[in-house]
Amino acid sequence: MLGKFEVRTDLALEAHENYEEMATPPHLRSAASRAAAGDHKTRKHGENSGIHGVRVEEEADEEREIYITTVTIETENAAKAMGKAVGTYITIEAPNMSTPDEDYHREISEELAKQLDVLLDGRKDSVLVVGLGNREVTPDALGPDVVNNLRITRHMMKEYGRMPSGMEASGEISAIVPGVMAQTGMETLEIIRGVVGQTHPGIVIVIDALAARSTKRLNRTIQVTDTGIHPGSGVGNHRNAINEETLGIPVIAVGVPTVVDAATIVNDTMEELIAEMDRQDSMKMLGGALGTLDQAEKHEMICKLISPYLNTMFVTPKDIDETVKYLSYTISEALNMTFARDCHRETGC
Residues from 266 through 285 that contact a copy of itself (CB under 8 A): 266, 269-270, 272-274, 276-277, 280-281, 284-285
Q: Is 195 in the site for a copy of itself (CB under 8 A)?
A: yes
d(CA 12, CA 79): 10
Give the one residue of 289, 295, 296, 344 binding a copy of itself; rule: CB under 8 A.
289
Q: Return the H-helix or E-strand segment holding 255.
A: strand 251-261
Closer CB to a copy of itself, 22 or 305, in the complex:
305
Q: Is 313 in the site for a copy of itself (CB under 8 A)?
A: yes
What's the Cα-to-Cα distance from 273 to each of 70, 174, 277, 293, rounded to whole Å? 32, 49, 6, 14
Residue selected from 87, 133, 143, 179 as contacting a copy of itself according to rule CB under 8 A: 179
Please state the closest distance from residue 235 (CB atom) to a copy of itself, in A.
5
187 burial level (CB within 10 Å; 0-12, 13-18, 19+):
middle
Of 55-63, 81-89, 189-197, 247-255, the segment contacting a copy of itself by CB under 8 A is 189-197
Interaction between residue 315 and a copy of itself (CB under 8 A)? yes
What x-and-dash track marks residues 111-140 binding a copy of itself by CB under 8 A?
-----------------------x-xxx--
Would you count residue 93 as binding a copy of itself (CB under 8 A)?
no
Q: Which is nearer to a copy of itself, 53 or 288 (CB)?
A: 288
Q: Examine residue 306 and tell whether it contacts a copy of itself (CB under 8 A).
A: yes
SS3 letters for 178-245? CCCHHHHCCCHHHHHHHHHHHHCCCEEEEEEEEEECCHHHCCCEEEEECCCECCCCCCCCCCCCECHH
Instruction: Find residue 205's DSSP bridge partners.
Output: 129, 252
Contact mark string toward a copy of itself, 48..87, x via CB under 8 A? ----------------------------------------
Among 63, 32, 61, 58, residue whose Cα is nearest residue 45: 58
What is the torsional sign of CA 283, 287, 290, 291?
Answer: positive
Instruction: Determine if 31 is a binding residue for a copy of itself (CB under 8 A).
Output: no
